[in-house]
Amino acid sequence: MPVPLAGGSTGSAPWYDPDAPATGLRHEVWVHGTLQPHPLASLTLTGGWEHFSLQGDTAYSGWVGRARLDLSATRTLSARVLLDYNSLDGRRSAEALVAWERAPGRAVYLGGRVDPATPGESTPLAWQLQAKASWTLRR
């Protein structure tokens, strides 16, 4: 089982505003860990916190997190689910993907994504579906 990783950094960083570029102070902390209770299943959790200040005033501060669940039914059939949260803008999202990979160049993928409405805002529910098929023909 992989060992959870953690890290962080602090120091000056650029502020990417085309009208008023500046340099501020950025602090960042992150952690990443994977649990694999079975060879065909794994759960990966990732989180990070970041704080950026310009001349003593907070430009932004918040955290982002992701949970990723990978499941394999067979060597050729697998599924993945992603859950994301970003406190900087209050966004949440969920994605799912089912993959059938017969061989290199021969695969079918079906998936979708949902972005729920942001609490307290008038943003509507956003969603999308996707499908991809790849098949290499041999002579």
pLDDT tens track for 33-91: 999 999 999 999 999 999 999 988 999 999 999 999 999 999 899 999 999 999 988 88
* pLDDT value of position 2: 55
Q: Tell me how far apart the alpha carbons of residues 37 and 53 are, in angstroms, rounded to a whole number.
A: 41
Q: What Cα–Cα distance (Å) separates residue 41 from each residue in 36, 38, 67?
A: 6, 5, 13
Q: What is the pTM of this model?
A: 0.80
Closest alpha carbon to 80 in 117, 31, 40: 40
pLDDT in tens, 22-49: 899 999 999 999 999 999 999 999 999 9
